[in-house]
Amino acid sequence: MAQTPTLTAPAVSVRSLSQYISILFVLLAILCFSVPGAFAQDTQEPADAAPITAAPPADQDRQIETRLTGIFSEIDGLADVAITLNEGVVRLGGTVANETAAERALDLARRVEGVVAVEDEMDRTRSVEDNLNPVLERTEGAISDAVKAWPLYAIALIAFLLVALLGHLLGSAKRLWGAIAPNPFVAQLIGQSVRIAGIIAGVLLALNLLDAMALFGAAAGSAGLIGLAVGFALKDTIENYVASVMLSLRQPFRADDHVVINSHEGIVVRLTSRATILMTLDGNHLRIPNAEVFKGTILNYTLNPQRRLSFKLGVDAADDPIEASAAGLKAMRSLKFLLDEPKPSAAVEEVGDSNILIQFSGWIDQNEADFLKSRSAAINVVKTVIENEGFTLPEPIYRVRLEGMPVNLTDQKVESGLAAPKSQATKTSKKALKPVPDNVDVSPDDDVRQQVAKERKVAGNQDLLSNERPTE
C-alpha cells in the first residue's frame, strides 16, 4: 500500500502568532465599524421621500415592478437584477458586475413614484468579463468617433500650429522688444511671455473647435495645483529670477562699479538672471544670488568719485596738539592729490595716558588718485612733517617703583649723564630732520578693471545692466 505523505505544519513563533492575532483584531474592528454603516446606507430612505399612504392604490406594486423591469432591461449591466415588490417595499436581488452598477440600480428604484423603501440584496460578481466589456465598448466607441471626426481634429491641429507659430515669430522679434523694454533681460522676458501666450491661444482655439472647453477647465485646475507645488519647490529660484528683474529695472549699480554688497567688496562684472558677479580686489570671481543683492546693503564707491580718507597720528602728551594739527594741515594742503574743496581737516580725537590722538581727513578724486595709495602717502608726509617740527611721536611709558631705593635716584642719573632731560631729547630730534616725500605716485590701480574688461569682452552681451540708463 502506498504511504500517505504526512504534512508537517511550519513552526510558528509566539511573536509571529501575536502579530497575526493583532492584524486579525484590526480587520475585525474595521469590519464592525464599516459594515453597519454600509447597511445603513443601503436601507437609508431618501431625504425628500413622500409620506406613506395608509392604503396603497390598487395594482400599484405590479405597476412599479413592471416599470422597474422595463428600465433595468434597457440599461447595460442591470438586466440580471431581480425585482420583488410588496407594499411599496422594493427588494433588488440577482447579480450585478460591481458596486457602481448596484448603486445605479438602487438610485433608479428610489426615484420611482410610490416606492416606500429599497432593500439591497444584489450580489456583486466582480467578474473580469462583466467589468472589462463596458470599458472595451467605450474605447471602441471613442476610436470610432475619432475616425469619423478626423477632419475636425486635423483642422484643430492646423489652427493650433498656426497660432503657436505666429506667437513664436512675434516673440522672436528681438529688435521690437529691445526698443520697447529698458534692458535686454526684460526684452527677453516679454518675448518668452508672447510665445507662451501664443501656445495658450492655440490650445484654446483648438479646444473650441472640438467643443471640448470643459477639458481645458479641468486641465487648468490641475495645472494650478501643479504650479503651486512647483512654486514651493523652486521658491529660491523664482525669488532670484524676480530679483533679477527688479535689479535690472532699478539698476543700483553698473558694470565696472566698485561696490560693497553685504561685506563683499569688488568690481561689478555683470548681472545675470540668477546672480551678480563681482571680481574681488584680489582678482577672484564672486557670485552673489540676486535675492541677497536685492535685499542686502549696497555701498557704491564709483557713484560719487569724491571720497574722504582719514587717519590718526599721536603726539606726546606734553606737546601742543593745536600746533601739531596746524603742522599736519599745512603738510596736507601741500599734497596735490588732495582736493582743495572740501578742505582737509584735523581734530583732536582722544587724550590718552601718554599721548594725544589727532585725526586728519582729506578728500580725493578717485578718477585721478587711488584711495589706498593716497592714504598711505598722506600718512607718511604728515608724520614726517610733525617729526621735523619737533613733535615727539609717543612711545609706551612704564613707571617702575623700586622698594628701598633712594628718592633722588632720578636726579643722580641726570647728574651722572645716564638720562637726558626731555628738552634736550627734543632738541636732538629737531636737528635730525627727515626729507618730506615728494612726487608720490597715487595713480589709480587699473589691474583689476583690466581683468573685468577682458571678462566682459568674452561674455559678450550677457549683461542685464545698461550703461545708458541712470543708477538709482
Which residue is associated with the grid cell 596736507? 332
Which residues are within 8 A (CB) of 159 and not within 5 positions of it... i.e. 6 or more apart? Answer: 202, 205, 206, 209
Beta carbons of 357 and 311 less than 8 angstroms apart: no
What percent of the chain clears pLDDT 70, i.e. is strictly above it? 74
Does 422 fall in a domain? yes
Other C-beta atoms closer than 10 Å to the C-beta of 240 total 20
pLDDT at 79: 83
pTM: 0.54
Which residues are within 8 A (CB) of 141 and not within 5 positions of it... i.e. 6 or more apart? Answer: none
Section 12-27 average pLDDT = 51
Q: Identify the burial level of 146 via C-beta atoms within 10 angstroms of its C-beta, where 0-12 means exposed, 13-18 middle and 19 or more buried.
A: exposed
- Same structural domain, 314 and 294: no
285, β-bridge pairs: 279
Which residues are within 8 A (CB) of 123 and not within 5 positions of it... i.e. 6 or more apart? Answer: 93, 94, 95, 96
Does 138 fall in a domain? no
pLDDT at 420: 43
User: For residue 105, which of 78, 126, 128, 125 has the smallest C-alpha distance?
Assistant: 78
CATH number at residue 268: 2.30.30.60
CATH number at residue 415: 3.30.70.100
Tell which wins on pLDDT, 238 or 93: 93
Section 184-208 average pLDDT = 82
Taking the CA atoms of residue 41, residue 44, residue 47 and residue 53 in that order, the dihedral angle to the nearest 10 degrees is: 170
Pairing relationship of beta strands 264-271 and 275-279 according to DSSP bridges: antiparallel
Residue 359 reports pLDDT greater than 90: yes
Grid cell listed for 104: 445605479
Which residues are within 8 A (CB) of 172 and not within 5 positions of it... i.e. 6 or more apart? Answer: 191, 195
Query: Tens digits of per-residue pLDDT, 32-61?
Result: 544 444 444 444 555 455 565 655 665 788
Beta carbons of 308 and 362 less than 8 angstroms apart: yes
What is the C-alpha separation between 315 and 42, in angstroms, rounded? Answer: 103
Grid cell listed for 98: 460591481
pLDDT at 443: 86
Query: How many domains does the chain divide into?
Result: 4
- Same structural domain, 375 and 414: yes
> What phi and psi, each to the nearest 5 degrees, are found at residue 83?
-115, 125
- Same structural domain, 244 and 286: yes
The range of the structural domain enclosing residue 264 comes to: 240-302+450-459
Grid cell listed for 377: 602717502
User: For residue 269, which of 444, 445, 460 has the smallest C-alpha distance?
Assistant: 460
- Same structural domain, 310 and 425: yes
Does 13 fall in a domain? no
DSSP state for residue 339 in the 8-state scheme? -
Query: Tens digits of per-residue pLDDT, 54-84?
Result: 556 657 888 888 888 888 888 877 888 888 8
Beta carbons of 332 and 379 less than 8 angstroms apart: no
- Same structural domain, 291 and 381: no
Does 325 fall in a domain? yes
- Same structural domain, 181 and 249: no
Query: Tens digits of per-residue pLDDT, 269-326?
Result: 999 888 999 999 998 999 999 999 999 999 999 989 999 999 999 998 888 999 999 9
The long-range contacts involving 318-324, CB below 8 angstroms and separated by at least 24 positions, are 318/422, 319/356, 319/391, 319/392, 321/348, 321/356, 321/358, 323/389, 323/391, 324/356, 324/358, 324/386, 324/389, 324/391
